[in-house]
Amino acid sequence: MDMPTIEAVINNWRLPARGSLTERINTMIRLDLMKGLFGTSATLIVGGVQYHLGGVQDTEDLAKLAGITASDQVLDVACFLGGPALQLAEAYQCRVRGIDKNEFCVRAANKIASMCGLHHRARFEVADARELPFEDGTFSVVWSQCSLAHDETWLQEMHRVLKHPGRLALTFAIRRENPDQNSPQWSLHDVVHHIQDLGYTILHAEDITRRDIDIGWRALDNQLSEREDEFTTLLGEEWVRRAHLKFATEIELMQNGQWGNGRIIAEKTS
């Protein structure tokens, strides 16, 4: 999408007055999500601004585990449209910087922050997680949900920009049972090992696969069912059928141990 079209899209938004922050944002951007302007996956189109598995609940749970307070300076890596960052800024009054490689998403995130009255606490910019544009020790928390690349450069850059002491708060895909020895996918143990080697104490490490089946894939399927007439009208019966199949397939893959999700809170100690 070219820049004039991007500006035309976000300048046409109107934020509803009622509902939770995430509900209001999702209502505002719903038609543009369905048009595929931010991506075409069924997970995104149904899940909305917080389409990582578990959505608002996952963000709330991770924030509590990480002990987020108003004094924190948080970096959200791979922030998408800023849903979790804005939730943190509103709920905890902390300051959040978000980075994403997608310029359209960053422009939209800054627009949403302004419309929500949170632009003084949440700012977003285009950047690569492998080369973060911040000084060493800038943030007290480095945060990422379901976006961590299995690339040690990501962890090294997170480590560099994190204060001492500071916390990593991460959810991420993991390899589970029947591992392929040639798979680039990390297991939960691998991620723990990589983080410890950088000089961290692991405060919390958990396989959240079973939880994410329920509050992630099953919740998405329920949302699709509840709004099935709307999705059918705008996207067609075949799209709805394929979306239900997608969610059912991911549940089966997780249940069979083909992949899963993990969660880690770690404190920088050296």
Model confidence at 178, pLDDT cuts 50, 70, 90, reads low
Q: What is the dihedral of CA 252, 255, 257, 261, to 10 degrees?
A: 100
> ∠ CA(109), CA(120), CA(149), 5° rounding?
40
- DSSP summary character for residue 148: -
Rounded-to-integer distance, Cα 10 and Cα 110, Å = 10
First to last CA, the chain: 44
Q: Directed axis angle between helix 188-197 and helix 152-161, to 10°?
A: 40
Q: Where are the alpha helices (DSSP H) in the chain?
A: 3-11, 21-34, 42-47, 55-66, 83-92, 103-115, 152-161, 188-197, 209-212, 219-226, 228-235, 237-255
Rounded-to-integer distance, Cα 40 and Cα 13, Å = 20
* pLDDT value for 270: 83
* pLDDT value for 1: 54
Name the residue ranges covered by the structural domains of the chain.
52-208+263-268
Query: Is the CATH number of domain 52-208+263-268 3.30.2040.10?
Result: no
Q: Are 215 and 57 in contact (CB under 8 A)?
A: yes
- Tell me the pLDDT tens digit for each residue of 209-227: 999 999 999 999 999 999 9
- DSSP summary character for residue 129: T
For range 165-169, the mean pLDDT: 97
The contacts of residue 168 (CB under 8 Å, 6+ apart) are 141, 142, 143, 158, 162, 195, 200, 264, 265, 266, 268
Model confidence at 180, pLDDT cuts 50, 70, 90, reads low
Is the pLDDT assigned to residue 2 strictly greater than 90?
Answer: no
Mean pLDDT of the chain: 95
Rounded-to-integer distance, Cα 196 and Cα 268, Å = 9
Is the pLDDT assigned to residue 160 strictly greater than 80?
Answer: yes
Is the pLDDT assigned to residue 81 strictly greater than 90?
Answer: yes
Nearest CA to 260 among 268, 249, 251, 269? 251
Would you call 194 exposed, middle or buried from its count of C-beta atoms within 10 A (0-12, 13-18, 19+)?
middle
Rounded-to-integer distance, Cα 138 and Cα 36, Å = 35
3-state secondary structure of 45: helix
Is the pLDDT assigned to residue 182 strictly greater than 80?
Answer: no
